[in-house]
Amino acid sequence: MATRRLDQTKTPPSRPRSRGFSALGARVEAAPLAPGLYIVATPINLADVTLRALATLAAADAVLAEDTRVSRHLMDRYQISTPLVAYHEHNAARARPRLVARLAAGEALALISDAGTPLISDPGYKLASEAAAAGIPLTSVPGPSAMLAALTSAALPTDRFFFEGFLPPKAAARRERINALAGIPATLLFYEAPSRLAAALADLAAELGQRPAAVARELTKLYEETRRGTLPELAAHYAAEGPPKGEIVIVVGPPQAAPRLNADALDCEIVEALGALSVKDAAAAVAAQTGLPRRQVYARALRLAGARR
């Protein structure tokens, strides 16, 4: 009987990669993307992803991910087979030239972070900047953002806001930075690590006084919580409770509107406070009451205290 031998030198033709995604029980083929860098917001709660984000991730030539292990959960959930490429703060300087070259060659690359909107407190902005400088189109695919989710759930003014990101980890530098932000007429937003939350709130209270604030954590997840109160109240709560779990956003209300004081009226306020408080505490109290920068009030309080001796 004749036997048929397989030709071991030939490899079967590779099957083209599926450029689709599965959602709500349906399989959807994604339309091709024009070349360029796509900045795609992705969620912590996977149900919050947009259809446009899924289509972009499915159609891209590669997805640049902060942590491919984290991003794999999203890709597997929606059955997206696009290759994942690690792009994070530790390899960004080495990876950027290769990625810009791929973009210049006509590829469509999607940039994501572990969750939320890329470029917010991550190295993505440098890639976007270099791509733009090379004439490569940038496209934003908007979606989840911890900063905006916290702002809209804090019940504080939203007409003006200032996002600071992470405060310095060392106490002296942190208080100096908070003092520099004190006069901004807007709601302030900060990201913070759980282990530093109580200390950061204590410094915010010391520099900004009795401003209303909120601590939002685990946003969009099962144990989502937004705790509201004054800065001293929140500082005392987390000092007693210990570090909470999860990702944290601190939202601080703007300076309280107060009548502008002339120099004589300010001096009267300071002298009255010095009658019962130390120079440091008097300056903090008057700054909180008037909305003036604590450092400015402290400098004046030092001069007045010296003149009284």
Question: Measured between alpha carbons, how far is 60 from 43 in angstroms, rounded to an integer?
Answer: 18
* pLDDT (average), residues 20-48: 95
The answer to whether residues 147 and 120 touch, using CB atoms and an 8 Å cutoff, is yes
What would the pLDDT profile of 78-129 be if each residue is shown by its tens digit?
Answer: 999 999 999 998 999 999 999 999 999 999 999 999 989 998 777 789 999 9
Least confident of 124-128, 246-250, 278-282: 278-282
| Closest-CA residue to 227 (of 207, 210, 206, 248) | 248
Q: Spell out a b/e string for 263-278, using b for 16 or more CB atoms within 10 Å of the CB, else e.
A: eeebbebbbebbeebe
pTM above 0.75, yes or no: yes
Q: Go through 18-48 and write b for each residue having 16 or more CB atoms within 10 A of its CB, e for each that does not.
A: ebbbeeeeeeeebeebeebbbbbbbbbeeee
The rounded distance, in Å, linking the Cα atoms of 251 and 70 is 27
Question: Predicted confidence band at 133 (pLDDT cuts at 50, 70, 90)?
Answer: very high
Q: What does 28-47 look like in DSSP terms, one character per residue? A: EEPPPPPSEEEEE-B-SSGG
Distances (CA, A) of 192 to 47, 200, 239: 25, 8, 15
291-309 per-position pLDDT tens digit? 677 778 888 888 888 776 6
Q: Specify whether the CB–CB gap between 192 and 248 falls below 8 A.
A: yes
pLDDT reported for residue 33: 97
If you search the block for the tokens 């900047």, which residue do you land on?
129
